[in-house]
Amino acid sequence: MTRILVLIMGAMATVIFALVILVILPNSMLSDLKAPPQLKQPGQQELLGRQLYISNGCIYCHTQQVRDPVFTTDIHKGLGNRPSVPADYVYDAPHLLGTMRTGPDLFNVGTRLPDRNWHLLHLYQPRALVPWSIMPGFPFLFEHKPTAEAGDKVLDIPKPYAPSEGVVIISKEAEALVAYLISLQHNYPAPDSDALEEVQP
Amino acid sequence: MFANSFVLIVLTLVIGLPPLVFLFIALAAGQLDDAGSTAESIFEAGELRYSRPWETQKQSQERVQHYGSLVSNPRWEWERWL
Amino acid sequence: MSTPVTSNPAQEESTVDHSKIKVSPEEMEAYDQSGRKPVLLGFFIAVVWLLIGTVLGDLSSFKFDRPDLLTEQAYLTFGRIRPAHLNVMVYGWASTAMFSVSLWLMPRLCRTPLRWGNLAVIGILVWTVGLGVGIALLLAGHGDGLEWLELDRQWADPLLVIGAAMVGASVWKTLAARNVHHLYVSIWYVAASYPWFLIIFLAGNMPFYKGVESAAVNWFYAHNALGLWLTTINLGLIYYLLPKIIGRPIYSYWLSLVGFWGLALFYALNGMHHLIGGPLPSWMIATSITASIMMIVPVVAVGINQHMTVVGRFGAMRYSPALTLAVIAAMSYTAVSLQGILTALVSVNRITHFTHWTIAHSHLGLYMFVTLSLFGGMYYILPRVLKKEWPSRRLVRAHILLVGGGMVLYIVALGIGGVLQGLSLLAPGEGFEASVSSAKPWLLLRSVSAVIISAGHLVFAYHAYLLAFTSRNSLTRHPPFYELKPVLVKKRVP
Ligand code: HEM
Ligand code: HEM
């Protein structure tokens, strides 16, 4: 019996110990984090776009974090003008930090590529704009109709990629996703960092 | 803040001490002695005496010394070892 | 509890120490049969998930080479197929097979028939339904958005928790009814895994985290799902199979306990090494890097222990596919851990983070270690539970060579491709295009290996079908590798 107690209580102790250190402690330490004044609270459309970003798995190819210039070239390569800090993410639930850079980091994509139409076409068919791209197209985010009706916004697609007949209409979803992408701008100066917000070496 | 609170210290002790205490009880009672027989507890009777075709002469000899003369496996080999 | 153990040594001597009495083969057979239903059910479901996961993995892989492949439907887009692959493989194939492994190991190790076997059957079914619902929702676009935790927290996760708890209850009830004094090391690993999994899975799925805290919880969970669930049960299995097949007790029982507690202590703290350089408070990441380096202790303890058990007897691998796979899995565990420790160092991570190097690492761990260990377990367990032999030596050999060879190609290709990709992501002068084009040929090679591995899976599934559902019985009296020239060790001189 004693052995079983050692096993169950010891096993519990180790994992709860880790839970306290890596989850509960930081949770309480970061709870009073304030949003930087320049960081806009996402609106209705942007939140819908964010949801589409999640449900279509952009996170499996794109990160949203800028690492410290001390040991990476993230800033040198134009991913941002400073490393990202916890306060940049206060409105993010769930987080979208990501672990793969099969595609470029998107933390500041709104600053880098502010053109709505570029994004719309890029989402429909990346190779229409970037021939070497291995990003999949997302044609299902658009509507395909025989002819445009009143009020429809038609996507202008270059020849080889346009469907052989009919037109491609920009849907509410596509617009929301692009609005979300363009809202990704974190080029304001880092909020006053106290000990908590210092970024790791 | 929770980080340097008294609660945290108490919590850690409450979680961490009992298993340690039980570990010492188990050790003192000799429950963790005799590791050898624990390691052997997975074998069936006679299993360590079956002859095994891949062993070198020296290896079989060693087993004879430990567990007694080798016996041929009562079942087909590949059923036993697959 | 059938053997009351107290701290009084005098009293203890009066009870029979069953550990010293050897079981008879007939008794062992009875233990195997006591868990027949849940064990077979689990393995059956696991193989079905394996085939589904294989299709999803292949599709994900091909989509890198042909980005316009199957983009018209939302449920076929890469961003849904890939997480579906992960979840099907981890929770469908590996976890379900691990349920069966646990339910087969516990009665043998505790020397008592399986308790609450029917509860375990229901548990496995509930788990499977939960996963099915979760995958369907994921493909339809409803997921939680956290890697490794994509399954819907309203409809899928509660079923998974209930299912795992039911199987865990059966495992623990069997442990409580044990007829042995000593706890063999596999018991430590298997029994501890169930409460661990439930705690981390519940903690990971709580809906109230936001910002970087959500990332911390995400990777706390994901890393522990690897370390305190997938790794532990498979190490328990390997700790059983190696000595058992070779016919030689484990090299050092003490070392195995050091390995277990070292793993429990350090692994749980490892999670933040997935976010090196990320926007977390630096002490969290530093803690995880330190704990990662400390992992050298349990990893080397386990490695030495398992190696010393087998050393000098590698020839036995010719006779037993189960042993062959268990040995490769054990070596891969050491290899993936050392690779992981290397990857957790900032100087390496700055190159390999965000690249396909991580995918190579994932599959070295989840395939060469976890999946091969489970294949080995199935080769050993199924004939004993079904009381039939695997019908064909050829199919066994084809399976092992296809999956082993294919996966080596997969890992080497992505290992090289990942480093090249990482170097060009880091090189100040290069545009993003360079990182895509440097990885491309290696991704194509991965797709080739994907086809080879998939063929191996088909062979295995067909063979398992022949074993379980046809009366075709093996007439061969030779072990499956008998005619193959020894690979690792010279043939025995008689
Ligand atoms: C037929 C064999 C397999 C193939 C072709 C395959 C292919 C793939 C592909 C293409 C990815 C996505 C990589 C990326 O995003 O760049 C992936 C990820 C993954 N696979 Fe597999 N896979 C196979 C077997 C397995 C098995 C058996 C398991 C687990 C038991 C597994 C676990 C995973 C995991 C956990 C990931 C996510 C890795 C990460 O996020 O770092 N795979 N696999
Ligand atoms: C001491 C042992 C280990 C250490 C220190 C370690 C370290 C790491 C590190 C640092 C990463 C993150 C790589 C990155 O994103 O840049 C990683 C990812 C991963 N490791 Fe390990 N590893 C260890 C053992 C294992 C084992 C035994 C397995 C499999 C059973 C495993 C499976 C994985 C998987 C699947 C990922 C990818 C997670 C994802 O991105 O989805 N690791 N490991």
Cis ω before A136 (30° cut-off from 0): no
pLDDT score recorded for residue C489 = 42
Query: Which residues contact residue C278 at a Cβ distance below 8 angstroms, ignoring those fewer than 6 apart?
Result: A65, A67, A84, A97, A200, C212, C215, C285
Residue B82: pLDDT over 70: no
Give which of A66, A108, A104 is closest to C432, Cα–Cα: A104
What values do phi and psi take at A144, rounded to 5?
-110, 120
Beta-carbon contacts of C307 under 8 Å, excluding residues fewer than 6 positions away, are C330, C331
CB C117, CB C34: distance < 8 Å: yes
Residue whose pair of structure tokens reads 């050092």 in the numeric block: C252
Query: A143-145 and A167-169 as β-strands: parallel, antiparallel, unpaired?
Result: antiparallel
Q: Which two tokens stand for residue C252?
A: 């050092």
More confident residue, B63 or C193: C193
Domain ranges in chain A?
A: 44-189
> From the CA of B40, how many Å to the nearest CA of chain A?
18
Ramachandran angles phi, psi of B50, nearest 5°: -65, 140
Query: Looking at ligand 1, which atom is closest to the CA of residue C54?
Result: 1
Cβ <8 Å between B15 and A25: no
ipTM given for this complex: 0.90
Residue C145 φ/ψ region, left for φ over 0, alpha for ψ in the -120 to 50 degree band, beta for the rest: left
What's the token pair of residue A72? 């990476």
Quick: pLDDT tens for C281-307.
889 999 999 999 999 999 999 999 999
CB-CB contact of A126 with C71 (8 Å)? no
Instruction: Decide if B68 touches A, using CB distance below 8 A.
Output: no
Share of chain B above pLDDT 90, in %: 0
Q: What is the pLDDT of residues C396-408, one digit of tens each?
A: 889 999 999 999 9
Contact criterion met (CB < 8 Å) for C220 and A22: yes
Identify which of C289, C394, C409 has the alpha carbon closest to the alpha carbon of residue C343: C289
Residue recorded with tokens 């087909």: B76
pLDDT at position C234: 97
Which candidate from B41, B53, B76 shows the least CB-CB separation from C477? B76
User: Is some CB atom of chain A closer than 8 A to the CB atom of B15?
Assistant: yes
Any idea which residue has 């079914």 for tokens?
Answer: C125
CA distances from A77 to A105, A110, C72, C233 (A): 10, 16, 33, 44
The pLDDT-based confidence of C494 (bands split at 50, 70, 90) is: very low
C426-434 average pLDDT score: 89
Average the pLDDT over B22-48 and give the result: 75
Decide if A13 and B22 are in contact by the 8 Å CB cutoff: no
Question: Is C136 a residue whose pLDDT tops 50?
Answer: yes
The closest alpha carbon to C82, from A59, A177, A141, A97, belongs to A59
pLDDT, residue B80, reads: 52
Ligand nearest to the CA of A59: 1
Name residues whose C-beta falls within 8 Å of residue A103's C-beta, 6 or more positions apart in sequence.
A61, A62, A135
In this predicted structure, the answer to whether residue C480 has a pLDDT above a threshold of 80 is no
Distance from CA of B26 to the nearest CA of A (A): 6
Please determine, for residue C8, whether its predicted confidence score (pLDDT) is greater than 70: no
Nearest CA to ligand 1 atom 33: C86
> In which band, very low, low, confident or very high, does the pLDDT at B41 lie, cut at 50, 70 and 90?
confident
Contact C459, C53 (CB under 8 A): no
Q: Which residues from chain C sit within 8 angstroms of residue B76, using beta carbons?
A: 477
CA distance B18 to chain C (A): 16
pLDDT of C197 reads 95
Closest ligand 1 atom to C454 CA = 1
Give the model's pLDDT for residue A198: 45
CB-based contact, C184 to chain B, within 8 Å: yes
Instruction: Determine the pLDDT at residue C492.
Output: 47
| C126-135 pLDDT per residue, tens | 999 999 999 9
Taking residues C198-219, what's their average pLDDT?
91
Q: Which residue is associated with the tokens 């043998």?
A: C108
Q: Which residues of chain A have pLDDT under 50?
A: 194-201
| Annotated domain spans of chain C | 24-182
Kindly list the residues from chain C whose CB atom is less than 8 angstroms away from the CB atom of residue A57: 77-80, 82-83
Interface probe, candidates A3, A4, A6, A19, chain B, greatest B C-beta count within 10 A:
A6
- Report the CATH superfamily, name and number, of domain A44-189: Cytochrome c-like domain (1.10.760.10)
The Cα of B79 is separated from the nearest Cα of chain A by a number of Å equal to 34
The CA distance from C27 to C8, in Å, is 31
Q: Which of B59-63, C123-127, C282-286 has the lowest mean pLDDT?
A: B59-63
User: Looking at the predicted structure, is the pLDDT value of residue C9 above 50?
Assistant: no
Chain A closest-CA separation from residue C239 CA (Å) = 18
The confidence score (pLDDT) of residue A24 equals 83
pLDDT, tens only, C344-401: 999 999 999 999 999 999 999 999 999 999 999 999 999 888 887 788 878 888 999 9
- Please say whether the beta carbons of A39 and A88 come within 8 A: yes
Q: How many angstroms does the Cα of residue C340 sit away from the middle of ligand 2?
A: 5
Verify whether ligand 2 is closer than 6 Å to residue C351 (CB atom): no
pLDDT score, position C113: 94
Query: Residues of C with CB below 8 A from A15's CB?
Result: 196, 199-200, 224, 228, 264, 268
Please, what is the average pLDDT of chain C? 89
A70 contacts: CB under 8 Å, gap ≥ 6: A201
Which residue, among C59, C50, C94, has the nearest Cα to C80 in the 3D structure? C59
* Protein residue with least CA distance to atom 32, ligand 2: C362
Minimal-distance CA residue to ligand 1 atom 34: C86
Residues C323-343: tens digit of each pLDDT: 999 999 999 999 999 999 999
CATH node for C24-182 = 1.20.120
The whole-number average pLDDT for the span C116-133 is 96
CB contact at 8 A, C403 and C376: no
Q: What is the DSSP string of C95-117?
A: HHHHHHHHHHHHHHHHTSPPSSH
Question: Among positive and negative, which fits the CA dihedral C6, C10, C15, C20?
Answer: positive
SS3 A154: strand
Among candidates B30, B35, B44 on the partner chain, residue whose Cβ is nearest the Cβ of C24:
B44
How many Cβ atoms from other residues are within 10 Å of residue C185's Cβ? 27
Where does C6-143 show beta strands of DSSP type E? none
Residue C289 Cβ < 6 Å to ligand 2: no
Task: Report d(CA C313, CA A199) in Å as an integer.
Answer: 51
C214 to A18: CB separation less than 8 angstroms, yes or no: no
Contact yes or no for B15 and A24 at CB 8 A: no
- Provide the percentage of residues in chain C whose pLDDT is more than 90: 71
Q: Tens of pLDDT along C235-254?
A: 999 999 999 888 888 998 88
pLDDT band at residue B76 under the 50/70/90 scheme: low
B-chain CB neighbours of C108 within 8 Å are 42
Residues C66-81 have a mean pLDDT of 93
Tell me, yes or no, if C277 comes closer than 8 A to chain A by beta carbon.
yes
Angle between helix axes C231-246 and C372-386 (nearest 10 degrees) is 60
Per-residue pLDDT of A98-155, as tens digits, reads 999 999 999 999 999 999 999 999 999 999 999 999 999 999 999 988 888 888 888 8
In this complex, do A72 and C77 lie within 8 Å of one another by their Cβ atoms?
Answer: no
pLDDT of the residue at C59: 96
Residue C11: pLDDT over 80: no
pLDDT of residue B4: 61
Q: Residue A10 and residue C320: Cα distance in Å, rounded?
A: 36
Residue nearest to atom 1 of ligand 2 (CA): C337
Tokens read off for C45? 């479901």
Closest residue on chain A to B13 (Cα): A13
Return the axis-axis angle of helices C393-426 and C321-344, rounded to nearest 10°: 10
Distance CA C355, CA C357 (A): 5
Of C86, C131, C458, best ligand 1 pocket probe by most atoms within 8 Å of the beta carbon: C86
Q: Which residue of C has its CA nearest to A142?
A: C72
Residue owning the nearest CA to atom 43 of ligand 2 = C340
The ligand with the least distance to the CA atom of C78 is: 1
List CB contacts (< 8 A) between B22 and chain A.
Answer: 2, 5-6, 9-10
Q: Does residue C455 have a pLDDT over 70?
A: yes
pLDDT of residue C1 exceeding 90, the answer is: no
